[in-house]
A and B are shown apart, each in its own frame.
Chain A
């Protein structure tokens, strides 16, 4: 019965798949990393949700959140996903000029978002909310700070791509590099979509 395990007939259909999957190593790696990051943000967001409404001293969320302000910065980050995908579309058409415009726009929108976050953090601190104030302060700053760090790394990568493109080192064949940075960038955006709803909008 053991002989049936490796029936030679099964050879035929498989030899066809020549170079494993035909996909690029880097792209598989990026998707694996993003899948892994789902659990990272899953743990952070769950911690925030667990501690909603459990702080024993103020300030409390409804006292410090500025929803219109955060809505605008959320919108800015959301639109940076559009400019990112337009940058990818541009390099795929070998349109270097638009590639640069959209890369720079994306990086600028990301910077505006981070700037907005810095402003938000300082205004919270002025209202007496710090990391060691209460559970809300701890879980809010660590979650959004973690996300902000992701955005910051994304901006660094976008600026690197922009400067590569200026030096003419980002030809059409390198479209995948832009695609990979784009995947990362969009992921950071979708995490913010969740944070905006779960942290800011849902009433406690």
Chain B
């Protein structure tokens, strides 16, 4: 595994990272390196240089601002997995973090890297989409904010422009009556999602006021299951409803498929995992 030759720069701040990207147009940002380095070893990526964000302290950490949780792009999966704050304010993120790869991957990989890379089988993108998160981006022209729904554009393609750094992710803190869960069918080798479903439901007594359900793994980008969401609104999320609604949630046409799991199978798994995620999300909506 030998990458082609590349330069290496370590940025001390976001500003410096942006400046370095400006100087080296074919450079790439290095976060945890757990997607980028393997791609370089296979020569699928051949950046002229790496700009390492590892020393940019301002990009790391989890904090709450009023009703919003702010997570720095360089926060490793492991920190999210073990965050006692997030366990209360946004439990779907620790839950998803816990099923990413293995401990080594979780110690190095970052949420910013995961979202910026936009692997169609990654776990966080679906969660952030279901949560209705927003992403903050810095470039030479200054900062901007993008809705998760607009951020993910295609397989490995996002709203990030060359020279831009993803700095923060904002998600709403959990309100009373809101429940959330992430359910994943992991690839037996890579442990990436073959199908993952993130469900965030707002319940009033036992009736669903709003359901936001997003899938990953089988679509080229994280995708809201809008038909299912509509069918759930105003209903109790009991066994009968879920059984009736989590059927043919997506069509296999246009889904990803390979020798491990065909499009047909992934469509079926979407039904199963949508149901499982919704079931648990509904159960959790009653907890405080």
- Whether A and B are associated in the same complex: the answer reads no
**Residues of B that sit less than 8 Å from A by CB:** none
